[in-house]
Structure 1
Amino acid sequence: MKTIISNPIDKTSVYLCAGLVSAGGALLLNVLPVLFGAFAEQFGYGEQQLGNLAMAMNLGFGLVALASVLWIQRVSWRVISTLASLLVAAALIGMCSGPAYPALVLLMALAGAGTGALYALAMTIFGDSSQPERAFGFKLGMETVPGALLLIVLPVALAPRWGLQGMLITLAISMLLMGIASLPWVPRHSARRQEAGAGEPLPVCRQSQTIAWLSLLASLVFLTGIMSVWAFLELMGKKSGLSSDTIGTVLALGFIINAGGGFIASSIGLKAGRFLPVALIIAAEVGGLVLLAQFSSLATYVAGVMCFLFSISFVLAYTFGVTAEFDVSGRLVVLGALCLSIGAAVGPAVGGLLIETYGYMAVLLFSGACSISVLAIYGAAVLRSQSASVRGLAC
């Protein structure tokens, strides 16, 4: 495992500013329901056309996240963040003119590419921490806050007065503030890169790489299960007679609760070990799914949503943390962004198929099965990490 003395990443200023970069990378995913609602209202797009826009964005996000393995450790972090933020902002401004649908698909893909680069960069920055669980808990909490605020501000304060154009300009300005204004407090390069440049070879251990891959797999399975339900939480509420305004308020509050989960994971760190906190929170998440499966009142719906959403940042803080600690090359942790992209694409597709074929209970069962599988996969990674530490095999 890596040990870095006076790690430049583990500073409050870096956590805050790199957290803003991460928030920029997650921003469009977080506000997608509101943005697509505005697209549908202004352009008259149907569900299939909106789905294709989401696919284009996720495709751009995922491809850039995958490709970033080749250059994320070679190019200045500040240059990456600046160029990616400008790309997203330019794509959003380009949408203001009401382009034809094919052009809009291309702009969404470009915006996805830019946010994918920002998210991959944030994964790399926080992955350099000497306390990865703490770092990723803060990252995941921090990146949720701007999205939660904009989920409230965009439809309530901006859309009624300035419409879609006002929303897009606000998102573009937000991207520039988060991705560029905070960069003076973000290091230019990885500590791993600096060590390598100083002539200190980075050891590679097969055991460590296996642990990193297992924790990445756990992240992917968890995100797929989460996104399969997240995409349909509003429809679940409407099926039981809840109003759109009520559901929107609940989901916005749930986003804030999700951020709190990340900050709580950051404060706990490894004080209670790696496995027990994750097991307890996944148990709470499964309890939330049970509530959603049988809710008949607003209170039950709220309780189910809160238990469900609280788990996201908390669990990912630990799975990403293990990946970062045992990824001695610094190249695997960046694939956490790819996990997010695949989960956001595959989860809703599987969820929609299950709902159309078997009903809402089926997708809730699928999500619960994914979470239980995560416990097994993550548990295997933790056991291997403990064995590696005892035997001195971890690099």
Structure 2
Amino acid sequence: MSGDRRAAYKVAPDGLPAAAFLAFLATAGLFYVNIMAAIVDGLVSGLGFTDAQAGQVAAVNTYGAAIGAAISIFTIARISWRRTAIACLAILIAIDLLSIWVTAPGTMIALRSVHGLVGGLLIGTGMGVIGRTANPDRSFGMLLFVQFGLGGLGVLLLPRLVPLFGVAPLFLALALFSLVTAIMLPFLPDYPPRAVPAPTAEKATGTVVWAPLVLAVTALFLFQAANMALLAYIFRLGVESGLSRNLTSGALGLATWVALAGPLLVMILGRRYGRFGLLFVGMLLTLAGNALFHWSGQGAIYLLANCATGITWGLVVPYLFGMTAEFDGTGRTAAAASVISKLGLASGPLIASFILGSGAGFDVLINAALAALALAMVLMLPPALALDRRALRAKEEEKIVS
């Protein structure tokens, strides 16, 4: 009877409420990335950290997440995901609350690296549970909506509170997100591992097509690193260019919501028109949008640049993830790509901190990001074209057989 009562208040395993709860679960460990600009600005303006020190805090937090996500590959099959999630959320809340009282850069770097490790473990666990649902694509779409939507709200409101309350609102927001996620956990079903269908002979070979795979994964790393290098300092860029804090935070919040168009396009278009054309156009817009940051002193251009780069970020990344899975029938490389992606997200702020710490300035940082994005474009297009041609040949063969 008690089991029946517990099942009564759980949401349907594959309904929209479950997708929303799972999105929170997979976001809680890395939500700081979505408000990274506010955190970096808060450390500089609220605690007096240098730009380099603030970037290093952001970097170690994300490097830790990459390690934690790698660990989750081994724990998800051996340890109850719910117990792992509860433990991780409790630790994250404790670390975020403790971070409010830390003022020394070295201590903050050490504390946030532990936060990243635990958060990465939670992210990997959440993604593993999403993989057990009957419709993981919908959960992934919901994941992007939660990240972009609440991230936009965070960068809209939090920078305005830093001058009044210091860094406390930043870390309280992270702790609150984890607390809300913990409240959702009891309503989620158990999601036991699903039976895996017997693989086909082609899938069972375990063959990895290494050359295009390496190109795609390298492009993913460069794309994430270049975008995150600028995003981590994007609020500082607006303020240093002469924009008011209110205008800067308003532009970032609006741009984050506009960026929802990126994942929407992916869900609507899918692979109907292939990957090459969409990636080509998306990368051209990415390069143009990032180049516009050179004129960030003009509010309209600053807003336009953030909107353009936000949309293309949400468009390009899902296709790159899909490409990594196409070159390996076993799915191993798709999991590894998640770790590579986080390494890119971590490396961007670290490299940016060195550039700004050397006194080179934001123009040099923007140019470095443009160079990395151009290289990523060169690397991602050949494997995209190869996959499009393979898909076209498969369709032609089907027509011949039918």
Residue 291 of structure 2 corresponds to residue 271 of structure 1: no
CA separation of 1:261 and 1:236: change in aligned 2, threshold 3 A:
same
Structure 2 Cα separation of the partners of residues 133 and 280 of structure 1: 24
CA separation of 1:84 and 1:263: change in aligned 2, threshold 3 A:
farther
Structure 2 Cα separation of the partners of residues 244 and 310 of structure 1: 23
State the Cα distance separating 1:302 from its structure 2 match: 2.0
State the Cα distance separating 1:224 from its structure 2 match: 1.8
Q: Flag the structure with larger Rg.
A: 2
CA separation of 1:368 and 1:24: change in aligned 2, threshold 3 A:
same
Structure 2 Cα separation of the partners of residues 380 and 9 of structure 1: 37
Query: What SS class does the counterpart of residue 49 from structure 2 fall into?
Result: coil
Q: CA RMSD in A?
A: 3.8
Residue 188 of structure 2 corresponds to residue 185 of structure 1: yes
Residue 75 of structure 2 corresponds to residue 71 of structure 1: yes
Q: Give deviations 1:48-86, integer Å, cap 9, x for gaps.
A: 432332233123212112222222333333233222222
Structure 2 Cα separation of the partners of residues 323 and 132 of structure 1: 17
Partner of 1:54: 58
Percent sequence identity is 21
Partner of 1:303: 304
Residue 340 of structure 2 aligns to which amino acid in structure 1? C
State the Cα distance separating 1:172 from its structure 2 match: 0.9
State the Cα distance separating 1:296 from its structure 2 match: 6.7
Asked if the contact 2:207–2:329 (Cα under 8 Å) also holds between the matched residues in 1, the reply is: no
CA separation of 1:146 and 1:190: change in aligned 2, threshold 3 A:
farther
TM-score by length of structure 1 reads 0.79
Moved more, 16-25 or 370-379: 370-379
Moved more, 261-270 or 246-255: 261-270
Structure 2 Cα separation of the partners of residues 10 and 265 of structure 1: 21
Q: Give deviations 1:333-372, integer Å, cap 9, x for gaps.
A: 3334423332123223444566728735622531431342
Partner of 2:7: none
Query: What SS class does the counterpart of residue 259 from structure 2 fall into?
Result: helix
Residue 375 of structure 2 corresponds to residue 370 of structure 1: yes
Candidates 163, 168, 191, aligned match of 1:165: 168
Asked if the contact 1:320–1:336 (Cα under 8 Å) also holds between the matched residues in 2, the reply is: yes
State the Cα distance separating 1:91 from its structure 2 match: 0.8
Q: Give deviations 1:20-57, integer Å, cap 9, x for gaps.
A: 22321331122233234334455433334323322331
Partner of 2:364: 359
Structure 2 Cα separation of the partners of residues 207 and 225 of structure 1: 27
Structure 2 Cα separation of the partners of residues 227 and 134 of structure 1: 25
Residue 77 of structure 2 aligns to which amino acid in structure 1? Q
State the Cα distance separating 1:160 from its structure 2 match: 6.2
**1:329-340 aligned within 5 A:** 329-340=330-341
Asked if the contact 2:40–2:55 (Cα under 8 Å) also holds between the matched residues in 1, the reply is: no
State the Cα distance separating 1:181 from its structure 2 match: 1.1
Residue 383 of structure 2 corresponds to residue 382 of structure 1: no
**1:343-358 aligned within 5 A:** 343-351=344-352, 356=360
Asked if the contact 2:89–2:182 (Cα under 8 Å) also holds between the matched residues in 1, the reply is: yes
State the Cα distance separating 1:240 from its structure 2 match: 4.2
Unaligned runs of 5+ residues in structure 1 are 1-7
Structure 2 Cα separation of the partners of residues 93 and 335 of structure 1: 32
